[in-house]
Structure 1
Amino acid sequence: MTATSSAAGPCAGGVTVDRSDPARRAWVAQAVRRIEADAQRSADTHLLRFPLPSEVGVDLYLKDESTHVTGSLKHRLARSLFLYALCNGWLGEGTTVIESSSGSTAVSEAYFARLIGVPFVAVMPRWTSPEKISLIQAQGGRCHLVDDAAAIYDESRRLAAACGGHYMDQFTHAERATDWRGNNNIAESIFEQLTLERYPVPEWIVTAAGTGGTSATIGRYVRYRGHATRLCVPDPENSAFFPAWCASDPSVTGGGSKIEGIGRPRVEPSFVGQVIDRMMTVPDSCSVAAMRAVEKVLGRKVGPSTGTNLWTAFSLAAEMRDAGAAGSIVALLCDSGDRYADSYYDDDWVAAQGWDLGPATEIVSEFLRSGRWPDSAAGR
């Protein structure tokens, strides 16, 4: 840094402060190029048609985010967060990236950290699935586990300060790091892929919230484009999002969530409730029953947050049928169920959570057979 002043006085030239660093700028430019090149090599994710009984009369699609190279919806977020941090001047060569995460975001951020050659540390609850921990480590990341989920924020800041690193803070920056007007965001992708379908403008898009960034992007985009599409955000048990949204009070807190990746003990800064048209709570047993039940339909396993989305999409489809309304619904398929073989797909683990999947499994199975959905079911 240099500072100079003119002998003729401040009006003649003033003081100049120069913080330019050509080497750092060159490194940032190369890092951005590597991330953009990675995106250029990647194809868009599929929009799958989910077969519903003909009696329903609604077209249901799943936006399959599991096909990203890091296996989840969070790949998009991680790419945006890294570009945002680089272009804001927060990352330099050798900067350690710290992130608070329940798993999938950390997997994706570890990938991008390795891509640009910086260390990565994920701060996660101790009960994060072993499969996700292994995936983070396989990408070159390190896992720092804490006993209290609410402590991940302060612990991330502490670690970043201790090593002179950067706390990425997905929960604050998710909604601002993504260009919600387009630029190949998930909302633009959905509408482009629906162009030739029977109902190209969906009645509903369903996505649960973790950071709130994806729901904010979709909600803003549909308004920007003037679509009539409504956004439904289901929320798992004990999460703060639903009661805070109902009360229009972001200070409301909850006990957290047992559905990995969604629901939070507090309302995160990236949660933009004003763009959400409807919220509903989904019992954990219903999320898990739905994720398991659709395996026979899809021919593969999906994760628990996808189960939350599907339970809600089935309910909305039945509601449209009852109202005699035709149209389409899009729900997000967030990640693969292969990451949860030792948890949500393990009967002993499920029983230890106190969940009885029987009633919810029967509801989903009956809906997939006949299109009937009981009014008494959660979410209706």
Structure 2
Amino acid sequence: MSESTAAWVREAIRVLEADANRSADTHLHVFPLPSEWGIDLYLKDESVHPTGSLKHRLARSLFLYGLVNGRIGPDTVLIEASSGSTAVSEAYFARMLGLEFVTVVPRKTSQEKIDLIEFYGGRCHFVDAAPAMYSEAERLAAECGGHYLDQFTFAERATDWRGNNNIAESVFTQLRSERHPVPSWIVVGAGTGGTSATFGRYVRYRRHHTKIAVVDPENSAFFGAWETGALDYATGMPSRIEGIGRPRVEPSFVPEIIDEMFQVPDAGSLAAIRFLRERTGHWAGGSTGTNLYGAFTLISRMLAEGKQGSVVTLLCDGGERYAKTYYDDAWVAEQGHDLAPHRAAMERFLETGRFPS
């Protein structure tokens, strides 16, 4: 590496760190549960990041990982395969560093996400089927001599799970003054596997008794892999809940650190985000609904077992990105989803403490 390139890398790292310092920590919201339950439910609101989602953390980590490993320089073309939110955040950081950014996305990606990627200066390269993203991203990177950021491989290794203000450390710091400062459960979805790996490693490193639950949407391969132990498990079908679920098991998925997995019906995820908005005013994307469905399941189990404590999950991104899909009744009907039974189950849950397993 030449001295001019080394100087550019040092400045790029400073710029990324400065952006992190400017961004206040994300909020930890309380979801209202009956006080007599003795259980607290929190949502870590990742939608308040500059690019509006949990993936802002991942994108920064991937950029830092590429910089310190000598894979990103002043003229590097950056390539990614993404269903949307990661690419939005990566386009933001690429523009910050003055780098060209191209992402391979499924053609069915929401127009709102495509608009955001292009707003930050990124370019979208479309494929008809989600599984084709990987090979097409590799081809583009090889063709232009660029760097394939590859969130699905590097998510679990790019994040410092020991601390460094990662999301796990942030949650535990924010809970210090709560009545149950060490949560019984942390509930997250799996898109790359990086978030569950970060939380799972952190709680073991800090010797907490917290358990990790991962929720998976329909069509996704992660649940089948965890249940069977087959890491080559694949469904070949795309998830309808953007940001989580994959047609194959990604390299960043670490099943050994997961204590429980649930497969959540897609209609349940969509009913949950509408329920969240009505009960709290927070407008979230579909993956947050998947998380909330899993949290309700675990809280119901805790009540049946006579346990008290806290449960933490994530508000992954804002609902404005899905105004024409998940929040559109006509779109929901076209997909064949019936939200009414799930909505009724959530109402009963808050009345009785019982939720379908």
Is TM more than 0.5 here?
Answer: yes
Determine if the alignment matches structure 1 residue 163 to structure 2 residue 131. no
State the one-letter code of the partner of 2:139. R
What aligned pairs does 1:321-332 form with structure 2 within 5 A after superposition?
321-332=303-314
Q: Distance in 2 between matches of 1:57 and 1:366?
A: 18
Whether the 8 Å contact between 1:301 and 1:338 is mirrored in structure 2 is: yes
Whether the 8 Å contact between 2:32 and 2:41 is mirrored in structure 1 is: yes
SS at match of 2:124: strand
Determine if the alignment matches structure 1 residue 178 to structure 2 residue 159. yes
Whether the 8 Å contact between 1:202 and 1:328 is mirrored in structure 2 is: yes
- Map of 1:136 onto structure 2: 117
Q: Distance in 2 between matches of 1:148 and 1:202?
A: 39
Determine if the alignment matches structure 1 residue 117 to structure 2 residue 84. no
- Name structure 1 gaps, 5 residues minimum: 1-19
SS at match of 1:294: helix
Q: Deviations over 1:107-136 (max 9, x none)?
A: 000000001110111111111111111111
SS at match of 2:125: strand
Determine if the alignment matches structure 1 residue 98 to structure 2 residue 84. no
- Map of 1:11 onto structure 2: none
Tell me whether 198-207 or 298-307 shows the greater mean CA deviation: 298-307
Whether the 8 Å contact between 1:318 and 1:371 is mirrored in structure 2 is: no
SS at match of 1:250: coil
- Map of 1:29 onto structure 2: 10
- Name structure 2 gaps, 5 residues minimum: none
- Cα distance 1:122–1:144, how it changes in 2: closer, same or farther (>3 A)? same
Whether the 8 Å contact between 2:54 and 2:317 is mirrored in structure 1 is: yes
Determine if the alignment matches structure 1 residue 62 to structure 2 residue 62. no
Whether the 8 Å contact between 2:219 and 2:239 is mirrored in structure 1 is: yes
Determine if the alignment matches structure 1 residue 210 to structure 2 residue 212. no
- Map of 2:273 onto structure 1: 291
Q: Distance in 2 between matches of 1:120 and 1:55?
A: 51
Whether the 8 Å contact between 1:124 and 1:152 is mirrored in structure 2 is: yes
State the one-letter code of the partner of 1:199. H
Q: Distance in 2 between matches of 1:120 and 1:37?
A: 21
Determine if the alignment matches structure 1 residue 227 to structure 2 residue 227. no
- Map of 1:247 onto structure 2: 228
Q: Distance in 2 between matches of 1:303 and 1:310?
A: 11
State the one-letter code of the partner of 1:269. P
Tell me whether 297-306 or 73-82 shows the greater mean CA deviation: 297-306
- Map of 2:260 onto structure 1: 278
The higher radius of gyration belongs to: 1
1:322 Cα shift? Answer: 1.2
Q: Deviations over 1:37-87 (max 9, x none)?
A: 111111110111111123433100000100101000000000000000011
What aligned pairs does 1:304-323 form with structure 2 within 5 A after superposition?
304-323=286-305
1:165 Cα shift? Answer: 1.1
1:318 Cα shift? Answer: 1.3
- Map of 1:15 onto structure 2: none
Q: Deviations over 1:316-340 (max 9, x none)?
A: 1111111110100001110111100
Q: Distance in 2 between matches of 1:306 and 1:50?
A: 13
1:350 Cα shift? Answer: 0.9
Q: Distance in 2 between matches of 1:54 and 1:28?
A: 52
Q: Distance in 2 between matches of 1:168 and 1:371?
A: 47
Whether the 8 Å contact between 2:303 and 2:353 is mirrored in structure 1 is: no
State the one-letter code of the partner of 1:76. R
Q: Distance in 1 between matches of 2:283 and 2:195?
A: 22
Determine if the alignment matches structure 1 residue 348 to structure 2 residue 306. no
Q: Distance in 2 between matches of 1:145 and 1:279?
A: 32
How many correspondences in the alignment?
356
Whether the 8 Å contact between 2:186 and 2:212 is mirrored in structure 1 is: yes
Tell me whether 209-218 or 23-32 shows the greater mean CA deviation: 23-32
Whether the 8 Å contact between 1:57 and 1:321 is mirrored in structure 2 is: no
Q: Distance in 2 between matches of 1:30 and 1:163?
A: 24
1:367 Cα shift? Answer: 2.0
Whether the 8 Å contact between 2:222 and 2:248 is mirrored in structure 1 is: yes
Q: Distance in 2 between matches of 1:40 and 1:109?
A: 18
Whether the 8 Å contact between 1:234 and 1:279 is mirrored in structure 2 is: yes
CA RMSD in angstroms comes to: 0.9
